[in-house]
Amino acid sequence: MTQRLLGQLRRFSLSLPDGVETDSWGHPNFRAGKKTFAVYEIYQGRPCIAVKLPAPEGERLLADPRFYRTPYTGKHGWVSLLVDHPVAWSLVKSLVLTSYREVATKRQVALLAGSRRRVR
């Protein structure tokens, strides 16, 4: 299941304007240009996806046991979602898109708005 989810995450993230994949700290990082917006990693033996969210949204999600504050970067708005159980792709997609908008430049966000129909 997690490999399928990683494939969906990869395809979606790379479809975003200037979306690129890098390998940092031994796992896939997805960036808008030079700024990371999503990370797929194994933390304490469990697969998860980390995203950067606006403070109110991130804090709200932490009440859900599937989420936790991302180690090291959580103080900067990063929240991780455990994905070793069935997770709705619509949730992951929404989180990744919100995170992308948090780090993307104005030009990238404008490109995203122009290509919204093509982003799946």
Residue 44 per-residue DSSP state: T
The angle at the Cα of 99, spanning 97 to 104, to the nearest 5 degrees, equals 90
- 52 token code pair: 């950067």
In the chain the domains, ranked by start, together with CATH numbers, are 2-114 (3.90.1150.30)
What predicted TM-score, i.e. pTM, was given to this entire model?
Answer: 0.90
Q: What is the pLDDT along the chain (120 residues), one digit of tens a residue?
A: 578 899 999 999 999 999 999 998 889 999 999 999 999 999 999 999 999 999 899 999 999 999 999 988 888 889 999 999 999 999 999 999 999 999 999 999 999 988 654 444
| Closest to 98 (Cα-Cα) out of 72, 45, 60, 64 | 60
